[in-house]
């Protein structure tokens, strides 16, 4: 290594699309997913450390540090280590280069919004690179505000990151993915603003693997997790999602939530084309006449956990199929005209329904 090692870098074994698809496929089949994050495995091929600091570093900005790297490769990886402070400017990651801060709320990358998801992003990701241990802040002041953008053909890989986005006059997104996939571990995302649309995590293309993370959308148009186009897989494990609509699967997608909590104001979980599973997951909608689970297209299976809403715990539209087993349904009746089957379900009074839906 051509500088003294600042810290022993830790990295996930998540450099290839095949790894994501293997994990996603096993989860979709009901198997326990392979852990994505191996804290004991250093980045293979790491040979160079570049430092950024307001004083004492090789560079004073992250943009300058990344521009200086021209020979990164599988066998010649770089780590850009960023010291405490706030650094302005739009950051475009490079393959085989990791960006590591001094900790959330200690190192902050900041920028204002723009006119497109790419132009509005504080950070744009690259395949075979990881962002970790820092805060990403977009203060808006433009039609679009985006914290992180995953470009087409790439995989966004974030760990131990806080993304705060606010003030987009039209649209506000924490993480906006046009890529193959986005992988999050120990990531917190908060969005506030957007007169027409806002999402903590917006998956425009591809899939997502979200583990031990927290997503919050504030405002009338807010959605915690939104899937906009067909294809890909969404895996949500040990995570929390909240917004006026918690999770909105607006296109055909394979979806699985395991040991998570999904909260919404009007609808907690909307499935409009998914083949989905929730396992040991709390799904709760809070407003009057709200729906805990709304399935308008596709199939959904709820195993264990709890669904609560005042309007309808589970709404299955005609032509859809929802199956519920060993779960607590709390609040309004299940219904909707579709195929709805329950087995071993209890209601809010803990009355037991062996083969009917309360």
Span 11-38, average pLDDT: 37
Greater model confidence, 35 or 317: 317
Mean pLDDT (the chain, rounded): 88
Average pLDDT of the residues in 326-348 = 95
Asked whether residue 5 carries a pLDDT value surpassing 80, the answer given is no
Cβ burial, residue 97 (10 Å; 0-12/13-18/19+): buried
At 44 the pLDDT is 62
Contacts of 140 (CB under 8 A, 6+ apart): 112, 113, 165, 166, 167, 168, 169, 172, 193
CATH classification number, 17-258, choose in 1.10.1040.10, 2.160.20.10, 1.20.1630.10, 3.40.50.410: 2.160.20.10
Region 163-189: mean pLDDT is 95
Q: Can you give the pLDDT at residue 194?
A: 85
Task: Give the residues across from 278 on adjacent strands.
Answer: 257, 302
Q: Rounded distance, CA 129 to CA 137, Å? A: 20
194-248 per-position pLDDT tens digit = 888 999 999 999 999 999 999 999 988 899 999 998 888 999 999 999 999 999 9
In the chain, which residues fall in CATH 2.160.20.10?
A: 17-258
Q: What is the mean pLDDT of residues 138-162?
A: 94
| pLDDT above 90: residue 6 | no
pLDDT at position 43: 60
Q: What is the mean pLDDT of residues 98-120?
A: 95
Q: What is the pLDDT, as a whole number, of residue 273?
A: 86
Q: Report the pLDDT value the prediction gives residue 45, as an integer from 0 to 100.
A: 67
Reported as a single tens digit per residue, the pLDDT across 281-306 is: 999 999 988 999 999 999 999 999 99
Output the pTM of the full model: 0.88
Give the pLDDT of residue 13.
33
> Is it the case that residue 61 has pLDDT exceeding 80?
yes
Strands 352-353 and 345-346 turn out to be: antiparallel
Exposure of 142 by Cβ count < 10 A (0-12 exposed, 13-18 middle, 19+ buried)?
A: buried
Highest average pLDDT, of 12-21, 29-38, 60-69, comes from 60-69
């Amino acid at each position: 290594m051509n500088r003294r090692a600042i810290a022993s870098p830790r990295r996930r074994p998540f450099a290839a699309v095949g790894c994501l698809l293997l994990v996603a496929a096993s989860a979709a089949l009901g198997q326990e997913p392979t852990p994505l994050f191996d804290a004991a495995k250093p980045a293979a091929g790491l040979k160079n450390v570049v430092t950024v600091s307001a004083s004492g570093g090789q560079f004073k900005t992250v943009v300058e540090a990344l521009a200086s790297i021209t020979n990164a490769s599988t066998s010649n990886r770089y780590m850009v280590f960023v010291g405490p402070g706030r650094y302005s400017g739009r950051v475009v990651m490079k393959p085989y280069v990791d960006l590591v801060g001094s900790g959330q709320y200690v190192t902050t990358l900041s920028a204002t919004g723009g006119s497109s998801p790419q132009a509005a992003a504080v950070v744009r990701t690259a395949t075979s690179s990881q962002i970790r241990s820092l805060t990403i802040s977009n203060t808006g002041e433009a039609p679009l505000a985006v914290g992180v953008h995953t470009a087409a053909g790439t995989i966004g890989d974030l760990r131990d990151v806080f993304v705060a986005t606010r003030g987009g006059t039209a649209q506000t997104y924490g993480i906006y993915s046009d890529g193959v996939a986005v992988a999050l571990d120990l990531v917190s995302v908060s969005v506030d603003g957007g007169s027409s649309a806002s999402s903590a995590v917006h998956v425009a293309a591809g899939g997502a693997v979200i583990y031990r993370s927290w997503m919050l959308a504030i405002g009338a148009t807010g959605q915690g997790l939104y899937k906009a186009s067909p294809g890909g897989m969404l895996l949500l494990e040990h995570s929390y999602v909240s917004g006026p609509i918690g999770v909105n699967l607006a296109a055909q997608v394979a979806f699985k939530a395991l040991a998570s909590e999904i909260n919404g104001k009007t609808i907690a979980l909307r499935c409009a084309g998914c083949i989905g599973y929730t396992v040991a997951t709390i799904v709760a909608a809070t407003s009057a006449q709200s729906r805990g689970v709304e399935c308008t297209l596709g199939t959904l299976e709820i195993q264990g956990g709890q669904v609560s809403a005042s309007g309808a715990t589970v709404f299955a539209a005609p032509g859809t199929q929802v199956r519920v087993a060993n779960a607590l349904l709390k609040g309004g009746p299940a219904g909707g005209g579709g195929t709805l089957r329950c087995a071993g379900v209890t209601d809010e009074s803990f009355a037991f329904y062996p083969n009917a839906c309360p």
